[in-house]
Amino acid sequence: MGPKEIERRLDLFTQRLRDAGIKLTSQRMAIFRAIAASEQHPDAETLYRELKESCPSLSIDTVYRSLWLLAELGLVSTVGQRHEAVRFDVNLSRHHHFVCIRCGSIQDFYSPQLDRLDVAEEVQDFGAFISSQVEVRGICKKCETGTDQ
């Protein structure tokens, strides 16, 4: 990924914010630039430390707000959900997760198609394979219909 791609991402960010009538502050631009340039999947704290050098008055809160803003606009995705604690899963048979992005509920589902997957080979350059699981994100029935929580 070269500077071209970074610029393309930044242009997309600014365009979407303009379209949504959201202000383009210097803090946001700096945060966008940092995440657009990142090859990794940084957390807010990491970006904050990085940006603090060139923008010492920046607050961590602004980093969080800007990143969740991007997430809400669909311009970045997240690993993990908002307000989420670690969950423990006693289901040891092979299964996959349907995660509701609104209420955070997780439902197991089973799929012969997915169980047949063999990704161990595909990831061997990264390291030793232990397990694989599909995470499907969506809006659960309850949240869709507005039935309580």
Partner DNA sequence: TTCTAAATAAGAATAAGTCGCAACAGGAGC
Partner DNA sequence: GCTCCTGTTGCGACTTATTCTTATTTAGAA
- Residues of the shown chain interacting with a second copy in the complex, contacts defined by CB under 8 A: 9, 35-36, 38, 40-45, 47, 67, 70-71, 75-82, 84-92, 96-98, 100-101, 105-107, 109, 111, 113-114, 117, 119, 122-123, 125-141, 143-144
Residues 118-147 contacting DNA, CB under 7 A:
none
- Applying CB under 7 A, the span of 56-64, 99-107, 114-122, 125-133 interacting with DNA comes to 56-64
Residue 72 touches DNA, criterion: CB under 7 A:
no
Query: Residues binding DNA: what is the number (CB under 7 A)?
Result: 27
Residue 70 touches DNA, criterion: CB under 7 A:
no
Cβ contacts of residue 41 below 8 Å, gap of 6+?
A: 79
Report the distance separating Cα 76 and Cα 82, nearest Å.
14
Name residue, tokens 């969740």: 68
Structure token digits, residue 57? 């008055």
122 binds, among a second copy, DNA, none (CB under 5 to 8 A by kind): a second copy
Residue 26 host element (H or E): helix 26-37
Report the distance separating Cα 49 and Cα 34, nearest Å.
11
30 binds, among DNA, a second copy, none (CB under 5 to 8 A by kind): none
Span between the terminal Cα atoms of the chain, in Å = 42
